Amino acid sequence: MSEIAMDAVIEKLIEALEQMAFLSVGPAEQAAAPASPLYLSLDFSGPWWGRLGLLTDQGVGAIMASNMLATGPDAPEALLYARDALRELLNIVCGALLHDHASCATQTFAVGIPRLKSITAEQWNHILADGNFIPLDADGLALAIRLKELV
């Protein structure tokens, strides 16, 4: 697992958000708890077992969905698809990361289904403090990502 550097995780997140949703992502000093905090996670197994975690705001999902579907961020479709867009983001980042780090065709990974839950600002701060998350900024909105080894 140590073969996957956090720089690679961040690079894949930046690529996915720019290509999928035209959102620019940059470094942030800290990630303050947003209005509607969410925690997403996705487990994978194979040559390495791990969990990709994402802390973000429901608003990021709404902006992603609106940019992807060419609607306004307050459009019903954007709100309807916000959580689905975030799950798909995590799925894409994880897939791209493992694709690049499978050293040969026989190395196969099984990727689970992204899980998402609403959390409180307190939980956000607790997870962020304990979990080696890297804080990021997506056009003014808070994000934080972590790759954790499970075995």
Partner 1 sequence: MSYSILIVDDSATTRAIIKRSIQLTQIATDRLGEAADGRQALQLLAQGGFDLVLADLNMPAMGGMEMTRRMQANPITRDIPVVIISAEPNAEKFAHDQAGVRGCLRKPFTPEAIRNLITQVLGGADV
Contacts with partner 1 by CB under 8 A lie at: 15-16, 19-20, 65, 68-70, 77, 80-81, 84-85, 87-88, 91-92, 94-99, 102, 105, 108-109, 111, 113
**Cα–Cα distance measured from residue 2 to residue 41, given in angstroms and rounded to the nearest whole number:** 19
Q: Is 15 or 33 the residue whose CB approaches partner 1 more closely?
A: 15
| Helix and strand totals (H; E) in the chain | 4, 7
Q: Is 31 or 56 the residue whose CB approaches partner 1 more closely?
A: 56
Q: Is 89 or 142 the residue whose CB approaches partner 1 more closely?
A: 89
Q: Is 37 or 114 the residue whose CB approaches partner 1 more closely?
A: 114
Least spacing, CB of residue 92 vs partner 1, in Å:
4
Q: Which residues contact 142 (CB under 8 A, 6 or more apart)?
A: 28, 31, 32, 33, 34, 55, 56, 57, 135, 136
Least spacing, CB of residue 130 vs partner 1, in Å:
28
H helix or E strand, kind and range, residue 112: none
**Cα–Cα distance measured from residue 19 to residue 1, given in angstroms and rounded to the nearest whole number:** 26
Q: Is 31 or 67 the residue whose CB approaches partner 1 more closely?
A: 67
Least spacing, CB of residue 135 vs partner 1, in Å:
23
Least spacing, CB of residue 50 vs partner 1, in Å:
12
**Cα–Cα distance measured from residue 87 to residue 89, given in angstroms and rounded to the nearest whole number:** 5
Least spacing, CB of residue 47 vs partner 1, in Å:
11
Q: What's CA 83's distance to the chain center, in Å?
A: 12
